[in-house]
Amino acid sequence: MNVKYMFSLISVIVLILIAYVGVETAGLQVLFGIIIPYIAVLIFIVGFIYRVMDWASSPVPFRIPTTCGQQKSLPWIKQNKIDNPFTTGGVIIRMMLEILCFRSLFRNTRMSLNEGPKISYVWEKWLWLAALAFHYSFLTVLIRHLRFFLEPVPVCIQWLEKIDGFFQIGLPGLFISGAVLLAAVTFLFLRRIYLPQMRYISLAADFFPLFLIISIAITGILMRYFTKVDVVGIKELAMGLASFHPVIPEGIGVLFYIHLFLVSILFIYFPFSKLMHMGGVFMSPTRNLPNNTRAKMHINPWNYPVKVHTYDEYEDEFREKMKEAGLPLEKE
């Protein structure tokens, strides 16, 4: 049994028990419904801004864009304007394809060693599809939840709910995004377990957010389809948090507080984890720089004047000692 993912799993279970005992036994609804969510949002905003500003202030002395095509050179050589952009417009198109379509992940391959021995490379299309499904379903769920914080609910969110819930099975209607989110994050977890290469490089910090998101998805699905929750009370609590006049309505079940606590932990954990690639992708010099090194000279800002000690100076300084030691001299 992998100790890394067991440690993360136990950590999430402990968090669930803390919320359950705190609300059900100790009656700490104010702590788990108001104080912790405010702290989580504050840490998320401050931590996110700090990380992005830290990356933005880091100097980039060289043009180091990752390229997959021909650089612009002679007129008769065809340039790959997207994979090896020369202009800012090309960089913007490349970044849009990377952020919206995961272009580099689409071309990702996995190496395997077969009998012979022979090396083969397999296109990781399922990883690309799972990553797309996970990120877009997560975004959809996040936007849908804005209906709890806004009154009246904007038309765009209402349309998103209709599109997301077009597949009607009983009541309440099934939201596709919730099911896809749970399936995609489960696939990403199983991939880290069953692929030896991924299992070898995976750390507890890689499993913890997966278990956390799985728990958030499961508690959300349980509240919507299997247990009765006071939606009006939840709306009142959310509106109170958004307007900075928080109240704790009666009748909100403990499952909601567990769900809210796990979301708060995810917000707190976000700025200090690999999840910050959401902001870091915009600051990556391997992606956001045009490859124009053949057209422009880029001066290294760290190449400041340095006092040097030449060999002639060295020989003049230690001439007598070198003679005594019998070392050859260039100048007599």
pLDDT, averaged per 10 consecutive residues of the chain (332 residues), comes to 81 95 90 95 96 88 84 90 91 93 88 78 88 94 92 88 73 81 94 87 90 95 86 91 90 91 96 92 90 83 79 86 84 70
CATH number at residue 289: 1.20.950.20
330 is a domain residue: no
End-to-end CA, the chain: 73
125 is a domain residue: yes
332 is a domain residue: no
pLDDT of residue 168: 62
CB-hemisphere CA count at 13 Å for 234? 19
Total count of domains within the chain: 1
3-state per-residue secondary structure call for the chain = CCHHHHHHHHHHHHHHHHHHHHHHHCCCHHHHHHHHHHHHHHHHHHHHHHHHHHHHCCCCCCCCCCCCCCCCCCCCCCCCCCCCCCCHHHHHHHHHHHHHHCHHHHCCEEEEEECCCEEEEEECHHHHHHHHHHHHHHHHHHHHHHHHCCCCCCHHHHHHHHHHCCCCCCCCCCCHHHHHHHHHHHHHHHHHHHCHHHHHHCCHHHHHHHHHHHHHHHHHHHHHHHCCCCHHHHHHHHHHHHCCCCCCCCCCCHHHHHHHHHHHHHHHHHHHCHHHHHHHHHHCCCCCCCCCCCCCCCCCCCCCCCCCCCHHHHHHHCHHHHHHHCCCCCCC
pLDDT of residue 170: 59
pLDDT of residue 115: 77
The pTM (predicted TM-score) of the whole model is 0.84
331 is a domain residue: no
Which residues span the domain enclosing 131? 3-325
Length in residues, the chain: 332
